Structure 1
Amino acid sequence: MEFKTFVFYVLSAIMVFSALRVITSRNPVQAALFLVLAFFTAGGIWLLLAAEFLAIVLIMVYVGAVMVLFLFVVMMLDINLDRLRQGFWSYLPVGALIGVLLVVEMALVLGGRYFGLEAMPTPPAAQGGYSNTRELGRLLYTDYVYPFELASLLLLVAMIVAVTLTLRKRKGVKYVNPSEQVLVRRDERVELISMSAEKE
């Protein structure tokens, strides 16, 4: 067994274990930390596949931004876990059915003739000056430019909808209207009063 294959199996085992701990852990903070471990090992597998840019983006975006924000929210909120577990057993049959369907689908995909080492030939060796980051950018902005722009548009709409849903007008809160503030003149705000000096 080659060293690269050994590292792949070790990283895969760690990732499968951490993914199982994400869904079986009772503590949400521990589940989030196991998800961070899963992202790190997925980045290591991307490095083995010579996709350095995707590995760094996975670690920087998901571990460095998304998971830190998620951990912050989980640790700041007072989550009542007992209340969340009250209706667990009533949803178990539906969850078990979906789990069985996922296992059947994965078995069909992994057992098919279009999935395996013979269906995925070894890619040619990279020539001098090859950059997978440049190739990824070229593919995104040439062959897949419309799906890329559609995904960015969907993310923009999702961001606007999230801001709109959380925006609430509160009564009794003072706020400044910028358009009215710009149109104000000095004569309307400042009044000069001449007073005679007083002596004691």
Structure 2
Amino acid sequence: MGFADFAFSIFATAVVVWGLGVIFARNPVHSVMCLIMAFISTAGLFVLIGAEYLAFLLVVVYVGAVAVLFLFVVMMLDIDFAELRAGYARYLPFGVVVAAALVIEIGVMVTSWSGAPAAQAPVAASDGPNNAEQLGMVLYTEYVHFFQIAGLVLLVAMIGAILLTFRQRQGIKTQDVSRQVGRRREDGVEVVSVPTGKGI
């Protein structure tokens, strides 16, 4: 078994294990961490097949999207962060395991990307466009309408998530700028005629 087969076995097993962790974890924090690790493991599989641009895109875009998703989950579920911080020592072993797995997977990914023989790592032809250029040409020519529709759907989803998590608290004084600007002097100033020596 070559190094590419060994790396594939590690990343494929990690994807399955972290995917099961997303499903069976009871704590939303643990689910998000498992989902991020599953994305990183999938990025390692992309590196093995020579699609380094897709691997980079998966880590940057999807891991960032998971962070935003976690933000909305926290806003909607109203998680008590004081309680989470109180159990820091209890969550520390799980965090150490995730960090160690992340370091190992990144090491295998870098080694398979830079040290694998040419026969095991598919490489684009030197005289043609590279992976990113080919993906861009296909995405912005043949599938440009689908790309724009996907962007519109994501925009609507983002606006919907903001509206769902927006809460109006009652009993809070707010500033009405138009009412302040349009206020007349008579509405805010009262001239009182005070007789001499009697006071108000």
Output the CA distance in 1 between the equivalents of 2:167 and 2:137: 43
Note the residue ranges of structure 2 that are not aligned, 5 or more in a row. 82-121, 190-200
Tell me, what secondary structure is at the counterpart of 1:143? coil
Number of corresponding residues: 148
Tell me, what secondary structure is at the counterpart of 1:174? coil
Cα RMSD for the two superposed structures: 3.7
**Alignment partner, residue 125 of structure 2:** 126
Cα distance change of structure 1 residues 128 and 185 upon mapping to structure 2, 3 Å threshold: farther
Output the CA distance in 2 between the equivalents of 1:7 and 1:124: 18
**Alignment partner, residue 51 of structure 1:** 51
| TM-aligned CA deviation for residue 52 of structure 1 | 1.6
Output the CA distance in 2 between the equivalents of 1:76 and 1:172: 20
With normalisation by structure 2, the TM-score equals 0.57
Once the two structures are superposed, the pairs formed by residues 3-42 of structure 1 within 5 Å of their partners are 3-42=3-42
Deviations 1:84-121 (A, max 9, x none): xxxxxxxxxxxxxxxxxxxxxxxxxxxxxxxxxxxxxx
Counterpart contact for 2:124–2:131, Cα < 8 Å: no
| TM-aligned CA deviation for residue 42 of structure 1 | 0.6
> Does 2:84 match 1:73?
no
Note the residue ranges of structure 1 that are not aligned, 5 or more in a row. 80-122, 192-200
Q: Which residue identity lines up with residue 74 of structure 2 in the other structure?
A: V
Cα distance change of structure 1 residues 67 and 166 upon mapping to structure 2, 3 Å threshold: closer
Fraction of identical pairs, as percent: 44
Once the two structures are superposed, the pairs formed by residues 30-179 of structure 1 within 5 Å of their partners are 30-67=30-67, 70=70, 73=74, 77-78=79-80, 125-128=124-127, 130-177=129-176
Q: Which residue identity lines up with residue 6 of structure 2 in the other structure?
A: F
Q: Which residue identity lines up with residue 135 of structure 2 in the other structure?
A: L
- Using the TM superposition, name which of 25-34 and 130-139 deviates more: 25-34
Tell me, what secondary structure is at the counterpart of 1:21? helix
Cα distance change of structure 1 residues 162 and 64 upon mapping to structure 2, 3 Å threshold: closer
With normalisation by structure 1, the TM-score equals 0.57
Output the CA distance in 1 between the equivalents of 2:19 and 2:164: 31
Q: Which has the higher helix share?
A: 2
Output the CA distance in 2 between the equivalents of 1:137 and 1:185: 56
Output the CA distance in 1 between the equivalents of 2:38 and 2:55: 12
Counterpart contact for 2:44–2:55, Cα < 8 Å: yes
Tell me, what secondary structure is at the counterpart of 2:157? helix
Output the CA distance in 1 between the equivalents of 2:38 and 2:164: 31
Cα distance change of structure 1 residues 28 and 128 upon mapping to structure 2, 3 Å threshold: same
Q: Which residue identity lines up with residue 130 of structure 2 in the other structure?
A: S
| TM-aligned CA deviation for residue 176 of structure 1 | 3.5
Output the CA distance in 2 between the equivalents of 1:182 and 1:142: 53
| TM-aligned CA deviation for residue 137 of structure 1 | 1.7
Cα distance change of structure 1 residues 156 and 67 upon mapping to structure 2, 3 Å threshold: closer
| TM-aligned CA deviation for residue 19 of structure 1 | 1.3
| TM-aligned CA deviation for residue 150 of structure 1 | 0.8
Tell me, what secondary structure is at the counterpart of 1:50? coil
Counterpart contact for 2:36–2:66, Cα < 8 Å: no
